[in-house]
Amino acid sequence: MIALVRFRIAGYVRSHRALQPLIGLLPLLAILYAAPVPAGQEIGATADSAGILIPVFAWAARGLLDSEPDEQRMISITAAGRREIISGILAVYAFDLGLAAIAEAALLARLSSGPSPVVLLTGVCLHFLAVTAGVALGALTSRPILPSPAVSSLVLIFGYLAMLLLSASGARWLTVPVLTWMKDGHHGVLLDNLPGLAAWSLLWPVVGLAAYAWLRRTRP
């Protein structure tokens, strides 16, 4: 399975499609960190970064899963069986975690005071949750699930917007609580609420990835 993960990442990177998510990532980082992060705002800044980068992670996930031709995916399925689905998810996770590392490095470089271990760990945790949400959204909008590129792009964009709107509403339990991360981060209560928020934030992406695996049974 690791060989298939390597093959898919190599295909994505060599095709130069891997540069496309950077078009979203780098300008966002430039805007987020145009000014240094003031002391005391580190947790809020890391929550903002994680929440805002979800569509970038989703875009990269969808791009990587769609970069290989349909017939190649079928060859991979005959070679690896149902592990092909898992290998795709692992490849996407690996690539998105690389993007998250760039975002984390940019954040740490723009902190006014030195990063504390708590800030560092909170950043890693929130970006991992953001990557998981992005992977699920990207997988559910990939070509085997939504063959039309236009429909797929719209579902990805509006899926993220729905996530934001729902998490600001009374029905926020229905989605990944992105705005709750940001709000709690800026009000200094994120660390207290983090275990519950993390479990809640993982629930829907796990449901999404399970739905992706289930749908792929009949969509090679």
Partner 1 sequence: MRLSNLSFRYGRRDPWVLSGVRLAFDPGDVVEVVGPNGTGKSTLLRLLAGLLRPVKGAIEERPGTVGYAPERFPADQPFTVAAYLRHMADIRRVNPARIGEWTERLGMDHLLGRRLPELSKGSAHKVGLVQALVCEPGLLILDEPFAGLDAATRAELPRIIGEVSARGGIVVVSDHQGGLRTFPAIRRHEVRDGSVRDLPAEAVSAHAPVSGAATPTDTPTHDAPPAEAATRHAPAAEVAAGNAPADDAGDSAPVTVLEVAVAAPKAAELADRLRAEGHAVRVTREAAR
For residue 105, the minimal CB distance to partner 1 (Å) is: 27
Considering the rule CB under 8 A, would residue 151 count as an interface residue with partner 1? no
* Binding residues with partner 1: total (CB under 8 A): 25
Counting contacts by CB under 8 A, is residue 4 touching partner 1?
yes
Six-digit token pair at 102? 């760039």
d(CA 105, CA 211): 33
Contact flag: residue 149 with partner 1 (CB under 8 A): no
Near partner 1 by CB under 8 A, which window of 62-70, 127-135, 141-149, 157-165? 62-70
Structure tokens at 94: 């690996």
- Give bridge partners of residue 37 from the DSSP assignment: 111
Among 42, 66, 68, 104, binds partner 1 (CB under 8 A): 68
Select the residue interacting with partner 1 from 15, 20, 41, 153 (CB under 8 A).
15
Scanning 141-189, the segments in alpha helix (DSSP H) are: 149-168, 178-186
Cα(182)–Cα(119) distance, integer angstroms? 14
b/e burial code for range 129-167 (CB count within 10 A of at least 16 → b): bbbbbbbbbbbbbbbbbbeeeeebeebbeebbeebbebb
Q: Which stretch binds partner 1 (CB under 8 A): 7-15, 93-101, 166-174, 193-201?
A: 7-15
Instruction: Identify which range of 20-28, 75-83, 144-152, 169-177 contacts partner 1 by CB under 8 A.
Output: 75-83
Q: Using CB under 8 A, which residues numbered 78 to 107 contact partner 1?
A: 78-81
Q: Closer CB to partner 1, residue 27 or residue 220?
A: 220
116 phi/psi in degrees, rounded to 5: -90, 160
Q: Is 215 one of the binding residues for partner 1 (CB under 8 A)?
A: no
Q: Does residue 7 touch partner 1 according to CB under 8 A? A: yes
Cβ atoms of 102 and 29 closer than 8 Å? yes
Check: CB of residue 212 under 8 Å from CB of residue 136. yes
Does 187 engage in binding with partner 1 (CB under 8 A)?
no
Work out whether 145 is an interface residue with partner 1 (CB under 8 A): no
* DSSP class of 111: B
**Interacting residues toward partner 1 by CB under 8 A:** 3-4, 6-7, 10-11, 14-16, 68-72, 74-81, 217-218, 220
